[in-house]
Structure 1
């Protein structure tokens, strides 16, 4: 369920080319509540039917559903997969402190972001407190996994490392955070399966 670079295929199919994007999962919360927690524009939450294709390389599939090609707002797509709700942000605008925010109230949440420059990070939080932070450029699986919460360590083990020729021994690829988040939530999906989930979308202005 991965593309040729190691990105979960459903994220690849949602994203525009050369994406700056983020992905959040939070347990035991509804999609509308998750979007509200991320301070979306009032009244912008609405049902989403993803279009058949993207209109151009620079627009994500959720962005196309919102007819957003101005670059002035991030489009957030939310849906529920079992006990977990995901929120996909096509501009990666919702990243700082998001896991802490979503996990408030005794929940678990994970946020991962990947930029066009290859910068990537992952944040795991429980009940409003960060339990693990991973800056992927400086990350060592061998050093960090033993001290992780068991469920997150298992997700890292399941995610594995992409087969990139330029990786040094012990180095992880910058897409690992996306795979870890999906593994933690058990979100092994295709785009067709995502289309069958009741989806919500909203916009958040990047100038807010």
Structure 2
């Protein structure tokens, strides 16, 4: 009898922040992101020097939870989401734990993009969404086997999501997405007419 199995699953976790821990004030979080971006001269200079669209604190601030209490509250909530995802992934963590490695702000203006990349040296990466204006970019995930498909034909337009070569997820404010850090992803051009797309990204390491 014929039997077809799905092997080597790639998991994507999608939930609202509010599903774990104390509620996060999204208005305060958005204001904090904007204040930090406005004050972070080192981050602004890095973005300009590296032709980075908009603003990111990735290269300039490594202590957001220490500087701003709302980020400390956010990390507590993220810890719970990451623990849930790690359980679903059936990780054997032994006597180590998944701990926050870094967390940073992204402010993407209209026309801005974040090109395809992975997050080396981490186990779980993710993003939570603070401002998602109409027309803002979805996040695009790439099948990690894509480079090895060679002569494979394209998939049908209505193919099951588990078989597609690219998946687009359009998040809402307050959403959190988690994935294993080796999964290549990108943010296509922000097509919002005026407003900025604001998100907070993070990595967890195993130690």
Fold match, TM over 0.5? no
Question: Normalising by structure 2, what TM-score?
Answer: 0.28
